[in-house]
Amino acid sequence: APKMQEHGASASTFSDWWGYKYEVREAIPYNAALLWEQGVNTGINSDDAEMSRRLNQEAAKTVKYGGVPPEEAWKMVTLNPARMLHLDHRMGSVEPGKDADLVLWDGNPLAISSRAHMTLVDGAVLYDQERDARLRKAMMEERERLVQKMIAAKQAGASTRKAGHAEKGFWHCDSEGEMP
């Protein structure tokens, strides 16, 4: 790490699922903290679509295990990766003139108890917790209406059939071009 810092190199470390696959068998929750302590511009990454959605929790591990200040941990999943790509003039922090996709949290974004309240991408609201609650309620009401309609149809003598089940697939990096 001192040689990296001296050279001006950045470091990107995997999240720490503790040996879940060969290429990250040495990953520990201290990696990012150790690099940061040496002055290395450090980012936390994942090649997993699911984990990429939870990098805030990975940043929180550097606070818990490595003693990194919360603001510095947050930078490891925002500004520091932008610096690595030499794009920090355009993204990575919330400033006038920069591109920003935003998540508004109902609490500390480094706390696992916090939930996304709203998500904005390219200036458009893609998720709103309150709207989601209204839509879920409306869907449940519609479902109940349809169930009652089917029950009434059966009681009136309509033919019925057993519900079918379709398997859902999972897209993965090696399933390109295939239907899951």
Residue 166 located in a structural domain: no
Residue 146: the pLDDT is 95
* Percent of the chain residues past pLDDT 90, beyond the cut: 61
How many distinct structural domains can be found in the chain? 2
**pLDDT for residue 80 is more than 80:** yes
Question: Per mean pLDDT, which range of 66-75, 120-129, 151-160, 164-173 is the poorest?
Answer: 164-173
* HSE (side-chain half, CA atoms, 13 Å) at 120: 9
The per-residue pLDDT for range 147-178, each reduced to its tens digit, is 999 999 999 999 887 877 777 777 666 666 66
Question: What pTM did the predictor assign?
Answer: 0.74
Cα-Cα-Cα-Cα torsion 13, 15, 19, 22, nearest 10 degrees, comes to -50
Residue 116 located in a structural domain: no
Q: Which residues form the domain of 17?
A: 2-96
Please check whether residues 92 and 31 belong to one and the same domain: yes
